Amino acid sequence: MEPPHQWEYRRRVGQVTEARQVVIVGSGPAGLTAAIYASRAQLSPLVIEGEPSSTSDQPGGQLMLTTEVENFPGFVNGIMGPELMQVFREQAARFGTDYVTAKVTRVDLSARPFGLWVGDPEATEPSYRADALIVATGARSLMLNLPSEERLLGYGVSTCATCDGFFFRERDIAVVGGGDSALEEALFLTRFADSVTVIHRRDRLRASKVMQQRAFAHPKISFRWNTVVEDVLGESKVSGVTLRDVVTDEVSTLEIAGLFVAIGHEPNTSLFKGQLDLEDNGYVRTFDGTRTNVEGVFACGDVQDHEYRQAVTAAGSGCMAAIGAERWIEEQTGGI
């Protein structure tokens, strides 16, 4: 498998606006599944896949930040996240999907065909025009922003217990956060781990009462209150964390094999603010499957799903978005 930085990237050159029937923004499981379906429907989709330099908009999405994926159906022995995304990418390319490696800097959804800019957002003419647009820009996990956390992401640092919990059988691990996500992750991880320490920066939880009761009652879960993670320890994999008590300033070390960061997620929707209806929590509002409030614009994957956030559910909604776009284009043209 070629690592992502060796993928053959096509960069945009020239200023002429390119017209497409379908443009897909985002190249995680949702965007690329939409691309497979749209290309098989002969809609010649263009995927604007993000920038490889970025940790949140990188081509391939969040799976590029994980190691082994064992719960994606079809891979008996599991598959590495980046390799899975490479397979998706090649499968969509096989049916005629084109890729451009760039970040969308502006969209205009006020008139059809929709306008999309890459590069200079102030340019008068858009880089692309699209009859139908599929938004698959995903979400990002909020992180602690420690260099050691970034270095060990996928090597003991994780943002997904459902994905990675299995790798920590009979190990001691920790979860950072005090919300429902943190407790949900902690409770799930008790199936595998010997012990789960919840590290929270305050002395009380934000999580719902019922989750708190469950976590407090669980014999494998303990809490470190008023505590922040200062450093993640380990050369090639996590061996522990340095903690600081924010009340006493006392510094200590906790030996753990895994650190799950569960301090919330943020959908990548800033590009669409004021143009697409968003939920109160910032996710794109969808109805009748993957339709948005703007006709001809569909949203799929984590950008519109804050509940399941799985590669397989994202892929499923990518399929729905492409079929939605195909039917919508058919309606506009009175049949292809």
Q: Is 131 in the site for ligand NAP (CB under 6 A)?
A: no
Q: Which amino acid is at 104?
A: V
Q: How far is the CB of 307 from ligand NAP (least distance, A)?
A: 8
Q: How far is the CB of 182 from ligand NAP (least distance, A)?
A: 6
Catalytic residue among 57, 98, 120, 160: 160
Catalytic residue among 131, 163, 305, 319: 163
163 labelled catalytic? yes
Residues of span 196-255 touching ligand NAP by CB under 6 A? 201-202, 206
Residues of span 134-153 touching ligand NAP by CB under 6 A? 142, 144
Q: Rounded to an integer, what distance in angstroms lies between the CA atom of residue 158 and that of residue 106?
A: 31
Q: Which is nearer to ligand NAP, 169 or 202 (CB)?
A: 202
319 labelled catalytic? no
Tokens of 169: 């059988």
Among 4, 78, 179, 282, binds ligand NAP (CB under 6 A): 179
Q: Is 4 in the site for ligand NAP (CB under 6 A)?
A: no
Q: Rounded to an integer, what distance in angstroms lies between the CA atom of residue 305 and that of residue 299?
A: 10
Distances in Å between the Cα of 296 and the Cα atoms of 83, 133, 320 are 32, 6, 13
Residues of span 157-176 touching ligand NAP by CB under 6 A? 176
Q: Rounded to an integer, what distance in angstroms lies between the CA atom of residue 200 and that of residue 319?
A: 39
Q: Is 180 in the site for ligand NAP (CB under 6 A)?
A: yes
CA nearest 322: which of 14, 108, 32?
A: 32
CA nearest 156: which of 255, 75, 78?
A: 255
Q: Which is nearer to ligand NAP, 137 or 181 (CB)?
A: 181
Q: Is 301 in the site for ligand NAP (CB under 6 A)?
A: no
Q: Is 178 in the site for ligand NAP (CB under 6 A)?
A: yes
Q: Residues 148, 231: contact at Cβ < 8 Å?
A: yes
Grouping H, G, I as helix, E, B as strand and the rest as coil, residue 262 is coil
Q: Is 264 in the site for ligand NAP (CB under 6 A)?
A: yes
For 105-165, the DSSP string reads EEEE-SSSSEEEEES-TT-SS-SEEEEEEEE---EEE-----HHHHHTBTTTEES-HHHHG
Q: How far is the CB of 122 from ligand NAP (least distance, A)?
A: 34
300 labelled catalytic? no
Q: Which is nearer to ligand NAP, 261 or 315 (CB)?
A: 261
83 φ/ψ sector (left φ>0, alpha ψ -120 to 50, else beta): alpha
Among 181, 197, 269, 304, binds ligand NAP (CB under 6 A): 181
Q: How far is the CB of 285 from ligand NAP (least distance, A)?
A: 16
Among 26, 177, 240, 324, binds ligand NAP (CB under 6 A): 177
Q: Residues 23, 128: contact at Cβ < 8 Å?
A: yes
Beta bridge partner(s), residue 260: 158, 175
Positions marked catalytic: 160, 163-164
Interface ranges with ligand NAP (CB under 6 A): 142, 144, 176-182, 184, 201-202, 206, 263-264
